[in-house]
Amino acid sequence: MATLAHAVGISEHRAQVTYTEIIATSYANGTFRTGLAEQRTMGVNADRIDRLNNLVASLKGRTVLAEDVARSLDEIEKTKPLYDWFLNAAASGLACAAFSFLNSGGWVECSAVAVAAFFGQAMRRQMLHRRMNHFGVWMACGGLAAFIYILLVAPAQQFLGLEPTHQAGFISALLFLVPGFPLVTGIIDLVRHDFQGGIARLTYVFMLLVSAGVATWTVSTLFHWSVTPEYSYVLPLWLLYILRALTSFVAAFGFAMLFNSPLKVAAVAAMIGAFINTARLLLVNEAHIQVPAAVGLAALAAGLLATFAASKTRFSRVTLSVPAVVIMIPGVPLYRSLTYLNNGQMIEALTALFTVIFTIVGIGIGLAVARMLTDRNWLQEAPMAGVPALEPLE
């Protein structure tokens, strides 16, 4: 906004941004104007982020007419989503199926999860386009995805002799409901001292997770369905990590499509995700490094790789790094911990919950360090124009 203001001749611009509001003040010709805008439609559009970033980059060092900028912004706003409902839902199904494999799921889990997440995401897209309440949407779609998974697996258990060890895989069918983009950006906001935006984002994330958790608990209780992982597979080590790299690529690619990233952006983000997630699993399982440390190192690598890729392309580091690190968010322990809480299993709930918290903190720290290493504005606070510099208190 500041770059755009200078390009159209505004001498100074200040803005206060929260998750749903922007208060902006512009100074020019000895006077000023303050405006307030509120946005109640929350979502993620990575393609629009990149288009806006490219527009701003093209204006640096130039003087343009406000009418020309308004026309460019109108064109960006009119750009339709890149994927229709079917491709969007298919990306969700494939991403969650890949997640299921990464969470020790076999072909039964992956197949059922793909179908359940497909229909869950298709329903979510339709409900969000009708501007329905997000918390109700997450609850309804979580319940639908869990129910479809059970509908596919339960008859096979009853009539075909399928082992009950596949029950816990139904949680992977809900992983498309993990609000990874606001979760990651909310943590980054806090690191940048943008407390209003960060706290609002994380509050929104918490409410959505609770809504999906209620659906998980309700369905598992009604059908007496287990949320404890029991299924496991044994593969040669070389094959295991090849499959983990492949499924990490698919998961990151699918989530990038859910964020409305173009295919080229999704492919680059998926390559970063496949590399860092496979390296993280190697560090944890083979080098026996603690999970938060491994996650932090992987997020640091993701931030540095995204910065390098952004410098060579017209993509932004945000749209490259977030899909790559989202696949490291422990969605299964997260929903499992909420179910344990509802069942009164406090020790199991706290164990899973602290695993989630430390992992998410590791992601935030890794990305923040990467930004501080590559962006001077993150490493050092620049003095604001017209505001006297104060010495920091000890």
308-342 pLDDT, tens digit per residue, is 999 888 888 889 999 999 999 888 888 878 778 77
Q: Is residue 153 within 8 Å of residue 107, measured between CB atoms?
A: no
Q: Are 301 and 171 contained in the same domain?
A: yes
pLDDT grade, residue 164 (50/70/90)? confident
DSSP assignment string, 208-266: HHHHHHHHHHHHHHHTT---S--------HHHHHHHHHHHHHHHHHHHHHHTT--HHHH
Q: What pLDDT score does 267 carry?
A: 95
Q: What pLDDT score does 230 carry?
A: 64
Q: Which two tokens stand for residue 262?
A: 């173009």
Alpha carbons within 13 angstroms on the beta-carbon side of residue 263 total 2
Position 82 pLDDT exceeds 90: yes
Q: Are 245 and 359 contained in the same domain?
A: yes
Note whether residue 78 is domain-resident. Answer: no
Q: Are 36 and 90 contained in the same domain?
A: no
Q: What pLDDT score does 98 carry?
A: 94
Position 272 pLDDT exceeds 90: yes
Note whether residue 362 is domain-resident. Answer: yes
Strand, helix or coil at 279?
Answer: helix
What is the span of the domain harbouring residue 173?
A: 86-377
Position 55 pLDDT exceeds 70: yes
Q: What pLDDT score does 264 carry?
A: 93
- Phi, psi (5° rounding) for residue 126? -65, -40
Which residues lie below 8 Å from residue 81, measured CB to CB, with a gap of 6+? 45, 88, 260
Q: Are 36 and 148 contained in the same domain?
A: no
pLDDT digits (tens, 9 = 90+) for 89-129: 999 999 999 999 998 888 888 999 999 999 999 999 999 99
Q: Are 220 and 347 contained in the same domain?
A: yes
Angstrom distance (rounded) from CA 184 to CA 191:
11
Note whether residue 369 is domain-resident. Answer: yes
Angstrom distance (rounded) from CA 99 to CA 79:
31
Q: What pLDDT score does 111 carry?
A: 93
The residues facing 32 across adjacent strands are 27
Angstrom distance (rounded) from CA 346 to CA 348:
6
Q: Are 181 and 312 contained in the same domain?
A: yes
Question: Packing angle between helix 85-102 and helix 107-129, nearest 10 degrees?
Answer: 140
Note whether residue 100 is domain-resident. Answer: yes
Q: Are 27 and 132 contained in the same domain?
A: no
Position 132 pLDDT exceeds 80: yes
Mean pLDDT comparison of 144-158, 161-175, 230-244, 245-259, highest-scoring range: 245-259
Strand, helix or coil at 21?
Answer: strand
Note whether residue 15 is domain-resident. Answer: yes
Q: Are 28 and 119 contained in the same domain?
A: no
User: How do 21-28 and 31-38 pair as beta strands?
Assistant: antiparallel
Position 273 pLDDT exceeds 80: yes
Q: Are 4 and 136 contained in the same domain?
A: no
Per-residue pLDDT, averaged over 44-65, amounts to: 88
Q: Are 101 and 22 contained in the same domain?
A: no
Position 205 pLDDT exceeds 70: yes
Q: What pLDDT score does 263 carry?
A: 94
Residue in the structure block whose two tokens are 């492949």: 246
- Number of compact structural domains in the chain: 2
Angstrom distance (rounded) from CA 213 to CA 148:
16
Note whether residue 21 is domain-resident. Answer: yes
What are the b/e assignments for 196-224, b being 16+ CB within 10 Å? ebbebbbebbeebbebbbbbbbbbbeeee
Note whether residue 387 is domain-resident. Answer: no
Note whether residue 324 is domain-resident. Answer: yes
